[in-house]
Structure 1
Amino acid sequence: MTLVVRGYQTELKLNNAQRTACLKHAGAARYAYNWGLRRYQEERAAGRKAPNAMSLHKELNALKQTELPWMYEVSKAAPQESLRDLEKAFRHFWKRCQRKKQGTFRGKLGFPRFKSKKRGIGSFRLTGAIHIGENWIQLPRLGTLRLKERGYLPTTAVNILSATVSERAGRWYVSVQLEEEHAEPGIALGETIGIDVGIKALATLSDGRVFPNPKALGSHLKQLKRRCRQHARKQQGSKNRQKAARKLARLHAHIANLRKDTLHQVTSLIVAKTKPDQERPTCIVLEDLQVSGMVKNGKLSRAITDVGWSEFRRQLAYKAKQVGSLVYTVSRWEPSSKTCSWCGWIDEDLMLSDRLFHCAECGYVIDRDLNAAINLALKAAG
């Protein structure tokens, strides 16, 4: 048995009083983060040592008695954990600066920014006395909150580390970090599976299975444009503009949830966690695609980002590890689509528009994506 830290997220079913209390906690966490960032900048500008999270929290506690009495209405963990997040953000920022000097980091350094309500209500993290039931969770200062999903959060033989409450498109969620014991997974003994990801089909497997792409953004693009226009035409600061913003946020959340649900279902079917060892794939082979370079194609960038290839690969990696399977990546320069999976002949003239592979040597005809998936599986076997 090994100890594993896992996160479980589920939606909350709040009444008006509980929703107001959550808004107060989120506001206190946001205020503490912005206040700590301002104090950090002041100390650095004065040439003094930058404060850490503990010293900032002690200073904030002293201000509660005089300038910030409203902070007594929320749990002390909300601003404290927010200051720890600020300290972590600066630690990562200085690491990126060091890597930038060494030439091993490209991109923006990401100096911590002030948080604004215009970019969302945000979230807050709580620690301490947290208890979980079948359809409820008890949090410090918030009391017992109902859950919309019954029996999802584990209630026995777990060590509760923290709980993060967040808001997205008018809905409130709680993410619980637990430490639980997991049995060592058995070694998977099934066949090696090659996976060719694409736009028309999300994934084509070497065993013949094809998972279609739901096109979460593409299928809602017309509706999304309409709601964006409706929001832009409303007068700034008006109630109607706020209503239009909520409708737009709900649609964005629906698109994201549709994409996430599809990726979770497909990756779970591939790793076959509930199947016996003989039916779980020994190795899962993927192509090491450079997505950041592919999205520079103006004609395909929206379709590529809509699929979520990076998230697909991330989910496969951690789910395969849980079931004892290996994930192997093949170089992006490998001509998996242009190589005949039967005789090995390479068609240098194959175009992206050619959806069927015709072998000039042996006459083999096969779907282009299936041919690539079989070649990826053979690459791992060889």
Structure 2
Amino acid sequence: MARFEIPEGWTAQAYRFALDPTPTQLRALASHAGAARFAHNHMLALVKAVMDQRAAERSYGVPEAELTPVLGWSLPALRKVWNQRKAACAPWWDQNSKEAYNTGLDRLARGLDAWSKSRKGERAGSAVGFPRFKSARAPRSVRFTTGVLRCEADRRHISLPRLGAVRTHESTRKLARRIEAGTARILSATVRQDSAGRWHCSLQAIVAGKARPAHAQRSSHPVVGVDVGVKADALLVVATPDGTELDRVPAPKSLTAAQSRLRALQRRATRQHGPYDPAPKTKQAPSKRWRRTRARIGRTHAHAAAVRRDVLHKATTALAQQHDVVVVETLNAAGMRTAGGARKRGLNRALADAALAEVRRMLGYKTRWYGSRLVEADRYFPSSKTCTACGRRKPNLTLADRIFDCEHCGVRIDRDLGAAINLARLGVPTPAVGEQGPAGSGPVAGRGAMRETGPAPAGQAAGHEASTPHHQVDQTGTASPQGEAA
């Protein structure tokens, strides 16, 4: 099946709304999510049974041509087998939309495809395991791609197949105005329940003429570098190539602020009867008080995530709208939290609380929306360990050293500010031979920042990270999506 191609001049965008469903709609949403889980688990059990049967037949010497027929792993093949079996295994199937079952089958097809490609070495990244059965306590979600998908005229309801018009907590006018003007079209809708128990609907649409808003303030500095960190006063440090600090966004530390409440709630939950009794090692019916405590824990986590997401969205939107070129480092956020054990538990929690990888992800699509350009520095680019004045590297710099003190030229500068300046210089075009850069700007286009004091390996500047192949930075500063810790 051919993939959907976004028309020229259009941009993919998602609009997320919190839902306020009625009790009947709540039961219907839970039923649709449960149907998706059932279809996934049922077909996964069938796939495993066929694989085990073929393996057993091979062990008995059965010829390959006489083995049990292979069950296809593609979505059309799984859907065909499901339609043949649903009347027997799920006689209640007609109570839900067909999109609910298609959601579970699509997840299974994607999981099997990822596992197969990972085994063959055709998939980048860490190894992918074989798909597992979905638990009833897993996050609930269902995706609709056909049927009625629209924003109602009152701009307070979203119509979904088999669910009808579901009320939203906020107005849908931003999307509704574009649809009425013919500059937006809804492609699909994904309904998901968060950890707090609230349902959200994400409408994926294509939008025409997405550009920088007319009211957006333009900065006099077209090129900026952004250094990310976990310090409370420096989640984002924005600087220009000439050394001017434009902004310093403090970290919200929402998870850290919620730790005292989470500790109290989790201790209370352990004293109550949960679904598992560790003494006889058996499952039990959870008590109502345990359910209420778990709901409070989920709401606390959801609030911390909402605060973090709000700060990141506001900061990245301002960067994409106000500047022409934004340079960021490509951090291996997952690899930074893998090693260390208990001795770096606090650092791992701080890294998770800061959500460093989200900054680059958000800037990736917002720069396309607003007509700016995102330059991604290589993971091993020594932004924090390079002097902004003479360009020499200081390989023995540790995370505890927050002030960069150059032993060659004597410059003292804040570590995060220096990293942001070095990143910003990667976005400046390389001048012709004999041409000088801006006064006081130091090396241009990052060439001085890449100059080494000795034949040090590139990975030395990045500290201890996951073993993945690194890529060289070209003259324009474009690199593969990986990075160095600040």
Q: Shorter-chain TM-score category?
A: 0.7 to 0.9
1:151 paired to 2:193: no
Q: Distance in 2 between matches of 1:55 and 1:360?
A: 66
Which residue of structure 2 aligns with residue 261 of structure 1?
A: 310
Which residue of structure 2 aligns with residue 307 of structure 1?
A: 354
The answer to whether the 8 A contact 1:195-1:284 is kept is yes
Task: Specify which of 254, 259, 266 is matched with residue 221 of structure 1.
Answer: 259
Task: Specify which of 182, 187, 193 is matched with residue 224 of structure 2.
Answer: 193
List aligned pairs for 1:1-382, cutoff 5 A: 2-46=9-53, 47-51=68-72, 52-99=74-121, 107-120=126-139, 122-126=140-144, 127-133=146-152, 134-152=155-173, 154-155=175-176, 156=179, 157=182, 158-168=184-194, 169-183=196-210, 190-200=221-231, 201-206=234-239, 207-208=244-245, 209-236=247-274, 237-272=286-321, 280-295=322-337, 296-297=339-340, 298-299=343-344, 300-344=347-391, 346-347=393-394, 350-359=397-406, 364-381=411-428, 382=445
Cα 1:143–1:332 shift into 2, 3 Å: closer
Q: Distance in 2 between matches of 1:128 and 1:195?
A: 43
| CA root-mean-square deviation | 2.7
Q: Distance in 2 between matches of 1:5 and 1:112?
A: 29
> Gaps spanning 5+ residues in structure 1: where?
273-279
SS for the counterpart of 2:121 is helix
Of the two, which has the highest radius of gyration? 2
Letter aligned with residue 123 of structure 1: S
- Deviation at 1:13? 0.7
Q: Distance in 2 between matches of 1:196 and 1:282?
A: 17
Q: Distance in 2 between matches of 1:107 and 1:362?
A: 42
Structure 1 or 2: larger helix share?
Answer: 1
- Deviation at 1:314? 1.0
- Deviation at 1:44? 2.6
TM-score, normalization by structure 2: 0.70
Letter aligned with residue 312 of structure 1: V
Q: Distance in 2 between matches of 1:78 and 1:50?
A: 21
What are the Cα deviations for residues 183-232 of structure 1, in whole angstroms up to 9, with x where unaligned? 5779x995210111111111111142100011122121121122111111
Aligned residues with identical type, % of pairs: 35
Cα 1:118–1:334 shift into 2, 3 Å: closer
Paired residues, number:
371
- Deviation at 1:154? 1.3
The answer to whether the 8 A contact 2:151-2:159 is kept is yes
- Deviation at 1:23? 1.1
Which residue of structure 2 aligns with residue 275 of structure 1?
A: none
What are the Cα deviations for residues 29-63 of structure 1, in whole angstroms up to 9, with x where unaligned? 11111111112222333342123433443444455
Cα 1:91–1:333 shift into 2, 3 Å: closer
Residue range with higher mean Cα deviation, 35-44 or 351-360: 351-360
> Gaps spanning 5+ residues in structure 2: where?
1-7, 54-67, 214-218, 275-285, 429-444, 446-486
SS for the counterpart of 1:178 is strand
- Deviation at 1:344? 3.8
Letter aligned with residue 4 of structure 1: T
- Deviation at 1:307? 0.9
SS for the counterpart of 1:154 is helix
What are the Cα deviations for residues 87-123 of structure 1, in whole angstroms up to 9, with x where unaligned? 22211221111117xxx75633221111111234x11
Cα 1:152–1:370 shift into 2, 3 Å: farther
Cα 1:379–1:184 shift into 2, 3 Å: closer
- Deviation at 1:290? 3.3
Q: Distance in 1 between matches of 2:375 and 2:86?
A: 54
SS for the counterpart of 2:258 is helix
Q: Distance in 1 between matches of 2:197 and 2:395?
A: 52
Q: Distance in 2 between matches of 1:112 and 1:332?
A: 31
- Deviation at 1:342? 3.4
Residue range with higher mean Cα deviation, 145-154 or 293-302: 293-302
Letter aligned with residue 359 of structure 2: F
The answer to whether the 8 A contact 1:33-1:82 is kept is yes
Q: Distance in 1 between matches of 2:405 and 2:48?
A: 64
- Deviation at 1:312? 1.1
- Deviation at 1:12? 0.5
Cα 1:64–1:191 shift into 2, 3 Å: closer
- Deviation at 1:172? 0.7
Which structure is higher in RCO with an 8 Å CA cutoff and minimum separation 6?
A: 1
Q: Distance in 2 between matches of 1:162 and 1:350?
A: 49
The answer to whether the 8 A contact 1:32-1:82 is kept is yes
